[in-house]
Chains A and B, each alone.
Chain A
């Protein structure tokens, strides 16, 4: 049961859910939730390939750095959201259409 196919399938489902959340939502924080799902899917793929193809530890390192980058991305992204909210009193993505305030 535990083989590359099921792992790819699970990360595929995670990725599609992330895409759905990212496109369907109009709320910036919800979009960030979707991005986290997508990043998780990619990190899971790297770990799965490590196990099922060559047992080389480099895949784990890649996943580790994806997790690190995701955390940094979440921190900066949410910081931007909070700043945006202070300026516009809204977290609707359509309010962020123009670059100037």
Chain B
């Protein structure tokens, strides 16, 4: 009963947020709707007992990626002679009829492909009762520390590369006379 309510709320938040991202004309608002969508996905994770993933979704997306995006929007907002590129006035580059037409075609084509796959999956869906939820943190930790230890270590190299790369790219150029 409660699980269904939680699932419905999360699903509504997820899909509603995603649609709002599509239709929002304001980049800042799109970012806020994206936050709502991430929240809903966290709820969906919680519904299938993936509690650690739900918390990770909150920590990494709601706390990290969204803030990063908000900062990036503020940093690319406007130039000295062109204020208000985002915000109350419509942002300059949010797309036009032609791009929406193209997007619609792409969406229809990819959804046809995907629906075919999903239909195949659903035809063979087992209707067995769901197993009870087990705590995931310990299992994830055990697997991360044994079977997937290489992936664990390599992810730190990936993060190191991302940190150094992004820091080098976005670092303001120092003046030559400094």
**What is the chain A residue whose CB lies nearest that of B82?**
A89
**How many Å from the CB of B108 to the closest CB on chain A?**
9
CA distance A32 to B69 in the complex (A): 9
Number of interface residues of A (CB under 8 A): 72
Q: Does B162 contact A (CB under 8 A)?
A: yes
Task: Assess the A2–B69 pair: CB atoms within 8 A.
Answer: no
A68-B21 contact given A29-B72, A63-B53, CB 8 Å threshold: no
B99 engages A24 (CB within 8 Å): yes
| Docked-complex contact B48 and A16, CB < 8 angstroms | no
Q: Which residues from chain B contact A78 at a C-beta distance below 8 Å? A: 68-69, 72, 166, 170
Asked if B60 and A86 make an inter-chain contact with CB atoms under 8 angstroms apart, the answer reads no
B159 touches A68 (CB 8 A): yes
Question: B47–A20 contact, CB under 8 A?
Answer: no
Closest A residue, CB atoms, query B104: A20
Contact with B along A26-57 (1 / 0, CB 8 A): 11011011101100100110011011100101
Whether B50 lies near A63 (C-beta < 8 A) is yes
Give A residues with C-beta under 8 Å from B.
1-10, 12-27, 29-30, 32-34, 36-37, 40, 43-44, 47-48, 50-52, 55, 57-58, 60-61, 63-65, 67-76, 78-83, 85-86, 89-93
Q: Which residues of B contact A (CB under 8 A)?
A: 3-4, 7-8, 11, 14-15, 18-19, 21-22, 27, 30-31, 34, 37-38, 41, 44-45, 47-50, 52-53, 56-57, 60-61, 64-65, 68-69, 72-73, 75-76, 79, 91-96, 99-100, 102-104, 106-107, 110-111, 114-115, 118, 121-122, 125, 130-131, 134, 136, 139-140, 143-144, 147-148, 151, 155, 158-159, 161-163, 165-167, 169-170, 172-173
**Complex A-B: 20 CB contacts under 8 Å:** A4-B122, A12-B111, A15-B110, A24-B100, A27-B95, A30-B27, A33-B31, A37-B18, A50-B50, A52-B125, A58-B147, A60-B140, A61-B151, A63-B50, A64-B140, A72-B161, A78-B68, A79-B170, A82-B72, A82-B169
